[in-house]
Amino acid sequence: SQQGEEDPQALSIQEGENATMNCSYKTSINNLQWYRQNSGRGLVHLILIRSNEREKHSGRLRVTLDTSKKSSSLLITASRAADTASYFCATATLGGNTGKLIFGQGTTLQVKP
Partner 1 sequence: EAGVAQSPRYKIIEKRQSVAFWCNPISGHATLYWYQQILGQGPKLLIQFQNNGVVDDSQLPKDRFSAERLKGVDSTLKIQPAKLEDSAVYLCASRPLDRTNSPLHFGNGTRLTVT
Diameter of the chain measured on Cα atoms: 45
Task: Report the site for partner 1 in 21-40 (rule: CB under 8 A).
Answer: 30-31, 33, 35, 40
Residue 61 near residue 75, CB atoms below 8 Å: yes
Q: Check binding of 113 to partner 1 (CB under 8 A).
A: no
- Least separation in angstroms between residue 26's CB and partner 1 is 14
- Least separation in angstroms between residue 39's CB and partner 1 is 11
**Which residues face 80 on adjacent strands?**
none
CA 92 to the chain's CA centroid:
13
Q: Check binding of 19 to partner 1 (CB under 8 A).
A: no
Which residue in 43, 63, 74, 109 binds partner 1 (CB under 8 A)? 43
User: Three-state SS for 82?
Assistant: helix
Q: Check binding of 58 to partner 1 (CB under 8 A).
A: no
Task: Report the site for partner 1 in 76-95 (rule: CB under 8 A).
Answer: 88, 92
Residue 32 near residue 46, CB atoms below 8 Å: no
- Which H or E run includes 104? none
Please calculate the CA angle 44-104-58 and round it to the nearest 5 degrees: 40
- Least separation in angstroms between residue 57's CB and partner 1 is 17
The residue ranges that bind partner 1 (CB under 8 A) are: 1-2, 4, 30-31, 33, 35, 40-45, 48, 50, 88, 92, 97-106
